[in-house]
Structure formats: C-alpha cells, structure tokens
Structure 1
C-alpha cells in the first residue's frame, strides 16, 4: 500500500492508484471531464490539475499515479488559476444556450464555471458554428457546438463496448464527434454516452426539451426488463416517467444500461396498457370487476374447496406483491396451488447461484446456450471488462449456435439443441469417470461433437480455479449436470448465473411461490382435467410464455373461471372472464431479485394511471368478499440478517443427481430458441425502430438452399402446427438450424416447440 497526503488528510491506497481516485476515497471532488474510472486515464481535458509538492508544475490528477509520501493540494491559487485557464479555453466557442439545453442544471461545465471559471470571456471573435441536434441514431442527438472533446463517448464505444461507431472527425478547432461513415450507431449500449457526456453535447431524443431539473423528481429504481436488474434513476414529471438513467453502485456496478432498459420505459404509458378492467369481455369499472372476481372466489371455494383455485405469478411484479398474494392464497383461499410463470424448463438451486463478483474473479467462464449480448446485455459488458483486466480468461460456449462475436471471443462447442447437458456430462466423464455424481448422470452418447471438443470442455472443468457459468435454462437436465459439476470440482469455486425470466422469479420464490416448472405444469394439467375451477394469473401471460402452448390452451378452455391481472391484455383474452389493471415498476415501492439472487429496492416515481391498483388493494377486497379476517401489514422484510442483500443461501444436495436424456439428433432443419431482450414482448413506441422486423435467423447455406435472400419469411411446421417466421440471413448461425426468439407474440415458438421441423419459403411479409 502507498501512503500519501491529500489536502492534509492521510490515506493508504494500492500501488498504481491515480490521484483522482485516491482523492475520491476521501470524499474530495476533483473536477474532471475526460476521466472515467472504467475507461482509464487519458489526460485530454486538463481540468483535473492539482499541485504536488516537489513537482515543478501542476499535474493532472487523472493520469498521475500516487507515490510514497506524496503530498497533494487540490485547491489553492495556482490550482484555481490553472483550472480557470482551461475553462476559458473551453468557453471560447461554447454556445451560451444553457436555458434551452437539456443538460442545464446538471452540467459539469456549468458547475465548474461557477466554481472556477472567469466571470467574462476575453475573446470577441464570432463563435464557430457547428451541427446542432444532429442524429447519432434514433435515440441520441449530438450538439457539436457544446462538445468539449473529452472523448468519453468515443472511448466507451470503441474500447469498452468494442463497437467502434463513434469517432473524432476533423482537425484542430474543427474537430467534432461524429458517427463512423455517417451511419447511425446501432450498438444496444449507445445510450450510455448520454450519461457519460459531462456537458450537453449528447442528448436523449425521447427526453429532448421535456423537463428541467427543477420540475422533475428522480428516484432510485431497478430495471425489470431482463434478469440483470440494472440499477437506475427514474425521472418523473406530470405523472409520467420521462427518462431513465444508469445509477452506479460503488464497487458493484458502473451504472451501464442497454438501450432496451434505458429507452423502453414508455411501456407504462403505451396505448395498449390496461388502465381499466374488462368483465366478460366488456370494459367495466375496476371496482365492480374486483367485486365480481371476489364473488367468483367465494362461490368456487365454498363449492369446490380452496385447492380448486390456483394462482400463477409473473410479469414485472415486486417481491412484496408476490408475498402479499401468497399470504392471501394460503391464509384466506386455503390453497397451495401456487406457481411462477416460466418460459424455460430449467431450475437453478440457490446453492449454485453466483454473483457478478464471480464473473469479476473467474479465470474461466462457460456460456451454456446463452448469448449474453442478446439475453443479458450488461453482463456482456462485464465479460469484456473481465477480459480487459484478465486477458488469460478462458471463455467457452456450449450451445446449438455459435456464440462468438467480434466484441467477445468465445470458443463455442456447437451441438444440437437439447444435447448440451449430455455433452457437458460427457466432459465430466473424462474428468472423473468414477465419481458417484457422474455415474448417476448415466450420460447418453451424443453425435456431432468430436473428442477434441469434449477434451476442451474437460480441461476447463479440471483446470479452472474459479469457474462461472451462464445458463439459459432451456434444458431441464442441465440442473443435474451442474450439481454433478459442483461435486466433481469440490472446493474449487463453481457458480452459475441464470439468464432466464421472469426477471424477478427468484423474488417470487422468496415470497413463497414455487419456481419449478413441474408445479406450473401440474396446475395446467389439473385445469385441463377439470380439477381447477378458478385460475388467477397475476402478471403471467402463459400463452406467450409457457413452453407448451397447446397445454395452456387446453387449460384455458377447461377452467370455468379464468382471471388475469396484467399490464397488457394477455394472449387469448377471449378465454378470460375478467382482466384487471396492474401497476408497473416505478409506480409502487418494492424489491426485486436479480440473477445474482440479490435484492434491490425500487422507489415509486409516479402514480399508477387510470384504475390500476396495487396487489394489496385487490386481495383486501377479495378477503372481504370471502368473509375472512385478513390483516395485511407492510412489515414483511425480504432481506435476511445473515445474507444481507442476497437471498439466503441453501446448500446444494450433491446426491440430487438424476439420469439425463439427450434429445435425438434431428434430420434436416431444427428449431432452436433463446432470449432476445430487445424484443421481450413488452411494447415500447420509443424502441420501435430497433424492434426487428425479421427476428428469426437462418444460416447462409440454408438460405441459399431455400431461396431466401437477405430477408424473407418462412413457414415452419412441427407437431402439426405451422407458424410464419420472418427471418434474416445470419452468417454466425450454424447450418441446419433456424433460430426463433422466445416470447415474441407474433412469432410464437412455443406453439411448435424446438427440434426437427419442416421449413419452406412463404409469401407472407412481416408487419411493422
């Protein structure tokens, strides 16, 4: 450790720490424009000048490393004069349009000018005119006149994300930030440059001229649109969320967001949102519909018993809402038929669940089925961050498609869909063939994976000291393989991060609902058989989400009373006797549990619109209808005294290993699937330009054989069902596969399932 003194305060920091970071640990603010801890030093803006004793002139705090005994002064006549000079140069051509700038009141240039800047400029020449409000893409504007050339945006996109879509164009005073070749930036991390920009040069199109700091309210929140659970700041004005920003959490998160999380907030005011209720297919006041549902509950329980009622929770509900519903179901209705909506069959035991710190410390990472760029984008950035810090990171993939990208080098073992568990089990056999857990797997043989590829997987299993896996949950047998993997590796760190939804499924489990798909399937089977008389879906949309759409349809048709509480009309709305409006994240207080099993708090930013009500309001009314005393107090704390902000850890039963089954190798084309966060079924008018018109993908060779050009529509048939799939030709896709994303309402892959299929060119064209 290095000891130094900053403004008469002593501190010890690791060798190599920069003065700016050491000062921040003491709570001393050194003004910066170009420097960001995640990007590293640059020294372009010269705003962070400090005085270091025994140095002949001022030093830049963001590029100068600390040394033993160093004495630093972050203020004083010399420092103030240096910063004043820098600001005077920055303001020579900067337009004085603060009153109409979206950054007004939140601008580093304003703040530092008030603190250090000259009261008046000495230059009388006309300011240079540049582009104002020029488009970077659909979501971002650039005002080149305001830019201070800090290069944060260019460095972030090029170095951190790896997608070089921004550059510095021109020379000298004519230098500007622009897109490469004038093409719009397509990266799904592009919105982060808005947060990174210290002035008003990069602006959000949806937020442009919408508000000012003095007429908004900003609340800490959590993005619930994918399992990552990114921390955010929600800006509310006039009852609407008008902006979402990233919220850094010290030592845990830089506050990056994907464009889905940053710009997809307008789902809460989407025209299709349910803000009133529907009773027997007709619009009705929510109060009356609530009373009618209560009457149906009372009649069903009295005639058929409590277990004739089932509850399925899903969607974007908080952990507290799930707990309230669980208590009502068990204590008032007297039913234990409770389950979480699922779109994949896999389940991850809590004892295997890792955290993002496991990614930061891993010497090997294995991607099982999941492409993090598409499914959990910010995790993709964390992996790139880990590679930057630890270039020797071994990054393996095991999936029915190639997972490598230009931005992330992945050594992918490509197998057929449904065979990943068998392949990883075969690799375990090479490592520890006599281990009881491996023998219990009874690993079947698989085709198409060479011995050299199995050996590559086995080496990662055997040699890595800290192995972290990302799993898409698409193969239920993988749970047993992961338990066996943990047993084989013994004391070596083995952690898994689940990349499937709903985003708060671990929170629903914490609240008392079963997250095992077998329990949800049992409810649907019983509904189909007439044993469930009333099915209540709380945020769940099973026709879109559950892997077996036919089973859901049969259950819907058989159950006498089907009720939904939802943000949007559920698929198959003709089956529902009542649809009630739900509240959205940002409208109620709650905690959400992300893929780390970490609880995070979200504060309300706005009031629910229309007749939307929180869960508590509905179940209180229903308890009254059931004439059962039910006191629902807000005293339940999902946090645990021992595990802090993580869901309590439960040890893994290493004996709970079952034999695995390998899917047969298909002939011809096979349907494969996976998450695509940009289109997760939650509508957004802002994101419409990014929603893919051709969400399916087909390989180059298969496209040539079928006669598909760059884009086209194909008819995909399996199990007696046919769906029309708009596809694009993807050079990364392995021949013999057609990829159809999960959860897209217009392309319901759960209607046909995955596996061997018949594919032919269709004349249909996708609708916008």
Structure 2
C-alpha cells in the first residue's frame, strides 16, 4: 500500500528516500529532511536567484550526475541527489576560494565575526588555503547608507539578499547593484539613502559583515551575548524576537521566524528601541511632589510613596478615581490592576485605550480573523490607519500576499498611505465618511461589490484619523457585519498589549475573559468577591469628569494623555484639576512629569509574562536583564496597594496570576501555564472565543465642512515623539518636525505659498506651523502627523466632536 499523499514526490538524497512537496526547491526539501546544503544567497522567505553557487549538488539527470544549484532546481519524482560527492566538494571549495579572493578577512574587527556563515562554511567546506597573492579590492569603508545601517563594500559577496529584501519584501528598492564585472558593488544612489522602515532586516540576513547596524556596531561579540526569545510589544502585531544582552545591558534584537506572525522580519522601531530600556533617563526610585514647592519632585522610598498613593485612592472613593492606560503592561499586570480596581477599589472607571481605539465590546464581538486568514483571503478591506506607519509588519505581510498571491487589497482612507503601491484600489473619502463610501460601493454594480459579496473577505478596521471620533469606525464595522456576514475582522489597535489589556478587563463594562460586567463567571465571582454592576467611564469620560472635579484621583498606567490622547486641552485640564495624579512609568513623560506620585516600573526586557496581539494570540515575554534601581513590576505595585487599602489580591507571582486567569476568564480556559511554556507557544496560542455582545449605536454623518475651513486628518508616524523613539539615541533623529500638508488649490485660494509659515486655528488652539502643498490630498483637507517632536496635533482636536475642522491664514 502506498504512503504517498497528493502533491508529494519521492526524492533520494544521499541514499535515503525523502518525501518532498512537488515543485518545491531541492534545498528546501533537504532542509526539512535534516540534510544541510551550504548557501549564501538562498533565503526561504525570498525568491531564489542562484547567485552564489555555494549550494551546488550532484543531481542525476538520467545521463549521469550533473552539478546543479539546489536553490534553483525543483524536486521531481524519483530525483536522485548526492550532496557529498567529490565533485560537489570540489565545487564548494572552488566557490569559497573565489569568494575569498577579495574578501578582506578582517574578522577580528567585524561585527559578524563569530556568527558569520562565510567563516563557518569556509571552515566546513573550504580549501584550507588560498592561491591568491595579488592585491585585494579596496573601497572607502564604512559608508553610512542610512542613519541606522553602515555598508562595507569590501566584505560584500554579492549574494543579492539585501537588494532582494528591499525590493521584494519591503517594497523599498533603495539599495542596488552598481557597476559591472569585478567592479560590481552594492550601493545606494547619492540622492536616495536607504531610508526604509525595515532596513535592519538586511543587516540580520546579510551572510557576511557587509551591512552592520549602527546601534550594535562594536558593542559585543556573539560569544559574549546571552539570548532569550520574547515577543515585541512596540505595536500590537506581537512579532517574535530574540533579545540579546551583554553585562546586563540590552544590545540587540533579532527577528525570529514564525509562520503565524512576522516571518522573521522586524520594523526598525521594534528592532532598535532597546536603547530606551538602557537609557540613563529611566526612573529608578519613586518620586513625590514636594509639598513645599510644587515645581519639585523628591526621591522617596516605596513605603512612603505607596502610602501616599493609597491615601489618595481612599480619599477619592470608588466614584472619584479613574485608571487610564495599561497597554504597556503584561497580561498578568493588567489582570492584577483589573482585579484591584473592581474588587478592592470597587470602580469600573478604567480604560487601557487613550481615546484612539475602538470600544472593547466591539473588539470582542466582531468575528475574528488571523493574519494568515488575511493573507489568504480573496479581498482584504483596509479601513483604518496607515498600516506602514502603525502596524508595519502587517503591512509587509499584506504586501507579500498582494504581490505574490491572489489577495486583492482595497483601502478606504481620507489620506494617502504607505499601502497604496500594492493595493488594487485606493478609495479616497472625506474624514469620517468611510462608511458612506463603502455603502455606495456595496449598493452599486461595481465589480468590487461582487467580489466582496461572493469571495472571502477580511476587514482591517481601526481609527484612520486621530482627528475623528470612533463613530466612523463603528459605522464601518456595522456596515460590513450587516452587508458582508461572511467577513471576518482584524482590529487595527494602537500600542503593544492593548488587546491583552482589554482581555484582562482593563476597559469599562468588560471583565477578564471577554465577558460583560453584568455576567461574571462563577469562578470570578467566587475569587474576586465583588464586581461593580454598572459600566464605568472610558478615558474620554474620565478626563471630562476630572476636568469637572468629579474624579479626584487619576492613575496613569504607563499612559501619557498629554501626548497620546487626541485632545491635549482636555487632558491638561483633567490633570490640573485632579487632586492627585499617580503615574506608573519608566520615564518622566509630559504627563508623569506633572504627577504627584510617580512609581517606577520595569520595562521591556526586564519583565516576564505574556502578551496578546491583535489577533488574540497569546505569546511569552521573557525577562532578560535585571531592572535598575528599585523599580517594580506593575502587578507587585497593585498587590501592595491592595494591602494598604485593606484588601488582598492573593497574587504572588506571574505564574500564579496566570493560573488564576485560567480559572476566572472563560475565553482563556485551557490555556495553562504548561501550554504557555511549551514549544506550541512559540507560534502563539490563539484565543478567539468571546461572549460579549455589542449593540451598535446609531451614528450620524459628520457635519459638512464650511467653505472656509479645512478638515483635519491626523495619523501617527513610525518615527514620532513617542517615549521609545525619543529615548533611543539612534532613533530620535529620525522623527521629523511637523508640517501641515494641504492641497495646492486650497493654498492658492487662501493666498499662501508652499513652505511658508501659517497660523492654524481650531476651536481648541491657535498655533504657528509650516504649510506645504501636497497634490495627493483631497481638496478641503489638511494632513498633520499626530505626535512629532515639539508639537502634537492633539492641540487642535476636540475629543467630543465627530471631526475637527481648522482654518489657516498667513502670518
């Protein structure tokens, strides 16, 4: 009886029968069979080019064995391959001798030394000596081809990995082969630096030290590094990473290839922001506002700081406290604070989002999709933020699906985005009008309407502009749910573990395990003892209440409302009017600098636990270094506060916390500590069950802009004034100054020349900015990045309004 399955073939490799997938490259089949074939140019996530010839093997063609590059030869039934023949060995020796003709052999000063494929394969397959005695090729070195990447052309072996990645994967063909013959080299054009958001990946995949990363250059040797696998929390994608340290200092992050999420790629922000954890600006001891001089913060011991915090919480009462933030926390930390807020403080005023996301009930109730689902769907409908700026690796995954597969990406947005080069159709709409435009398409005889109704659809839905309320996104989700019932959703949530924080109940009206506040599980009711019966306030509501004097104590869980909340004026008034502001943070941010009590917390790399990505995929976080000073985990602070408030959370460790989560959270039942620590969790454990129902409110269309005003559009940039960027010396210079972009017709109508300074007026503020013309914008709109150095667009935005209109005039 045959054991063969469809699409499989039998291949003989070194005398052993191997089952392979029909059509796959021989080198890939050998890898899965445990037979290593040396290579330099081949990479499993990019096309094969056969550049280096290091993977030559003997293949029986029927007329005798012939050397063929295994990265270019697809397997066929009955193929016979010898990877260890004498001809193969001689070919490998010859290739290596040829590659070393011009290689400088400066291994003692090369960052790649000790982990270099050229070193390793020369030792394993090389001739042992060189016959070349002439002068080697020389170039100026190193050349900084960007702020983050340096190029050493003498070391380059022309494998084409970096150029293929930039072109095929990133879609940023900014690094090329130049010249010909012996003068061929990799280079950028003088007027086009390698300004890609993904440039660090070329350093990681370079098989020699030709490309090196400026933040890691000359920092450590591979044998000096300790490494653990963890999960990136820069955004909500949850990319798998290798975290490396030397002498208790983070020195490098590497992408780990997992099929479910990032395929080994990282954005440069996620790759290089380890510098923030190492920053000398880190808070290391508690700080308390000097009662004799409110301008001063004084160092304190933990006992005094926690006693003051507990006193402020008690004085405020359950209705007078608001807890904002939590997306920086691990799942275990978020659970501890959710339990503290509801069972001890007895408030439901808590929200992990900062007025820039979607209602937690909506996130939990939408039919869920995975990243893989999106990459295999007939159509991906993107109605949300610029994915390249805010969810950079999701952008890469969708780009790959659109350029290499059958997936069609359709984007509806008020402003141009980084996705446009690969989308099938980019539909420009007015701010807040996405649902209106989508409805018109679905009710037309457009081919797109037919494809959406008949094919598989994944909708990526989120807030496309910080200057519009969540009403537009809610309306889009409602329309897709009603008109396309077969569609599934990826919610484009901002910030790292925001999905995990929502899962753990850091949202009004939602308890841990994606259950409604009026329907707690029996286990939760038994263990917690008390939960509020009424839904509390979200971030906007808490800030409004604080500004009105109704909330007396604000707790900021790694949150910076002055920088991140859409309405800076409301946030500033709330912080000023609150009697006590308690901040748990790593740094003195704009908001924590105004707090009365500041409690220093552990940062990424210093904490263990779990995190949950935008799919609902739970992944491990692994502690790598010891925290500085006396900083504490957030869950420890919660347990200590509970004790000082007269209660007891009965939480003793991250592991014990997770065991309690498994008990009380219905959606997480069966996700045991043992599963989380197993090899299964390397790909993440997908949790998508939910019992929460969302009642869609009636949403009115945004008001029509008057003839004089411009409708403001504001989105985040990858390089902004966020803490991780501003506290990382290598990343800080990449954040550009804010510029207001306006259609040239509007500038001409107002008598303003491009590049001139203008006065920008909204109902919230009047500020001076530089205005430049941008023809890609719709007339009547103005585009301003949300949080750039020295200026935040949230000075103009009214969080209580559906949209924000501005006026501009000459100075």
Flag whether TM exceeds 0.5 (same fold). Answer: yes
The 2-side partners of 1:413 and 1:519 are apart by 32
Q: Does 2:648 align with 1:608?
A: no
The 2-side partners of 1:710 and 1:6 are apart by 66
Identify the residue that residue 49 of structure 1 maps to in structure 2: 56
Identify the residue that residue 795 of structure 2 maps to in structure 1: 751
Q: Does 2:519 align with 1:505?
A: no
Q: Does 2:690 align with 1:650?
A: yes
Q: Offset at 1:526? A: 3.5
The 2-side partners of 1:408 and 1:22 are apart by 31
Over 3 Å counting, the alpha-carbon distance change for 1:547 and 1:423 in structure 2 is same
Q: Classify the secondary structure of the residue corresponding to 2:273.
A: helix
Deviates more, 1:131-140 or 1:330-339: 330-339
The 2-side partners of 1:68 and 1:252 are apart by 33
Q: Deviations over 1:468-518 (max 9, x none)?
A: 33433655233354244234333x3x1222223232111101222116895
The counterpart of 2:641, out of the listed 622, 635, 640, is 622
8 A Cα contact 1:473 1:500, kept in partner: no
The counterpart of 1:338, out of the listed 317, 341, 350, is 350
8 A Cα contact 1:247 1:254, kept in partner: yes
The 2-side partners of 1:49 and 1:121 are apart by 21
Identify the residue that residue 760 of structure 1 maps to in structure 2: 809
Q: Offset at 1:308? A: 3.3
8 A Cα contact 1:369 1:400, kept in partner: no
Q: Offset at 1:7? A: 3.6
Over 3 Å counting, the alpha-carbon distance change for 1:473 and 1:158 in structure 2 is closer
Q: Deviations over 1:614-665 (max 9, x none)?
A: 1133234323433434431332336735687123322685x83332211012
Over 3 Å counting, the alpha-carbon distance change for 1:572 and 1:712 in structure 2 is farther
8 A Cα contact 1:674 1:742, kept in partner: yes
8 A Cα contact 1:642 1:648, kept in partner: no
The 2-side partners of 1:669 and 1:193 are apart by 41
8 A Cα contact 1:473 1:498, kept in partner: no
The 2-side partners of 1:680 and 1:5 are apart by 57
Deviates more, 1:305-314 or 1:190-199: 305-314
The counterpart of 1:3, out of the listed 5, 10, 13, is 10
The 1-side partners of 2:42 and 2:57 are apart by 14
8 A Cα contact 1:341 1:542, kept in partner: no
The 5-angstrom pairing of residues 710-721 of structure 1 reads 711-721=755-765
Identify the residue that residue 362 of structure 1 maps to in structure 2: 377
The 5-angstrom pairing of residues 26-425 of structure 1 reads 26-53=33-60, 54=62, 55-181=64-190, 183-250=192-259, 252-280=261-289, 281-288=295-302, 290-298=303-311, 300-301=313-314, 303=315, 305-347=317-359, 348-350=362-364, 351-390=366-405, 392-403=406-417, 407-425=421-439
Over 3 Å counting, the alpha-carbon distance change for 1:296 and 1:171 in structure 2 is closer
Q: Offset at 1:151? A: 0.7
Q: Deviations over 1:575-626 (max 9, x none)?
A: 4211222221111113222222212222122222233221133234323433
Identify the residue that residue 489 of structure 1 maps to in structure 2: 484
Q: Offset at 1:427? A: 4.2
Q: Deviations over 1:131-190 (max 9, x none)?
A: 321121111111111111101111221233232211112222221111124642122222
The counterpart of 1:458, out of the listed 427, 438, 449, is 449
The counterpart of 2:711, out of the listed 670, 676, 686, is 670
Over 3 Å counting, the alpha-carbon distance change for 1:464 and 1:284 in structure 2 is same
Return the TM-score normalized by structure 1. Answer: 0.89
Please list every run of 5 or more consecutive structure 1 residues that lacks an aligned counterpart in the other structure.
Answer: 431-450, 763-768
Q: Classify the secondary structure of the residue corresponding to 2:686.
A: coil
Deviates more, 1:397-406 or 1:753-762: 397-406
Q: Classify the secondary structure of the residue corresponding to 2:17.
A: strand
The 2-side partners of 1:542 and 1:218 are apart by 35
After superposition, the CA RMSD in angstroms is 2.7
Q: Deviations over 1:6-38 (max 9, x none)?
A: 344433333210011111222332211111122
Over 3 Å counting, the alpha-carbon distance change for 1:515 and 1:271 in structure 2 is farther
Over 3 Å counting, the alpha-carbon distance change for 1:515 and 1:336 in structure 2 is closer
Over 3 Å counting, the alpha-carbon distance change for 1:320 and 1:44 in structure 2 is same
Over 3 Å counting, the alpha-carbon distance change for 1:514 and 1:573 in structure 2 is closer
The 2-side partners of 1:51 and 1:487 are apart by 59
The 1-side partners of 2:698 and 2:499 are apart by 26
Return the TM-score normalized by structure 2. Answer: 0.84
Q: Classify the secondary structure of the residue corresponding to 1:565.
A: strand
8 A Cα contact 1:362 1:468, kept in partner: no
Q: Does 2:474 align with 1:479?
A: yes
Q: Classify the secondary structure of the residue corresponding to 1:235.
A: strand
Over 3 Å counting, the alpha-carbon distance change for 1:548 and 1:167 in structure 2 is closer
Q: Does 2:587 align with 1:547?
A: no
Q: Offset at 1:404? A: 6.8
8 A Cα contact 1:525 1:555, kept in partner: yes
Q: Does 2:540 align with 1:527?
A: no
Over 3 Å counting, the alpha-carbon distance change for 1:156 and 1:295 in structure 2 is closer
8 A Cα contact 2:326 2:506, kept in partner: no
The 2-side partners of 1:381 and 1:20 are apart by 25
Q: Deviations over 1:198-245 (max 9, x none)?
A: 111111111111100111222222222222222222221233222222
Q: Offset at 1:519? A: 2.5
8 A Cα contact 1:417 1:755, kept in partner: no
Identify the residue that residue 30 of structure 2 maps to in structure 1: 23
Over 3 Å counting, the alpha-carbon distance change for 1:318 and 1:743 in structure 2 is farther
The counterpart of 1:12, out of the listed 19, 25, 31, is 19
Over 3 Å counting, the alpha-carbon distance change for 1:720 and 1:146 in structure 2 is closer
Identify the residue that residue 765 of structure 1 maps to in structure 2: none
Q: Classify the secondary structure of the residue corresponding to 2:198.
A: coil
Deviates more, 1:105-114 or 1:272-281: 272-281
8 A Cα contact 1:503 1:595, kept in partner: no
Q: Offset at 1:709? A: 5.5
Over 3 Å counting, the alpha-carbon distance change for 1:574 and 1:196 in structure 2 is closer
Over 3 Å counting, the alpha-carbon distance change for 1:696 and 1:75 in structure 2 is farther
Q: Classify the secondary structure of the residue corresponding to 2:115.
A: coil
Q: Deviations over 1:47-90 (max 9, x none)?
A: 11222234531221100000012222322433222211111111
Deviates more, 1:405-414 or 1:135-144: 405-414
Q: Classify the secondary structure of the residue corresponding to 2:340.
A: helix
The 1-side partners of 2:626 and 2:193 are apart by 36
Q: How many residues align?
A: 733
The 1-side partners of 2:199 and 2:110 are apart by 20
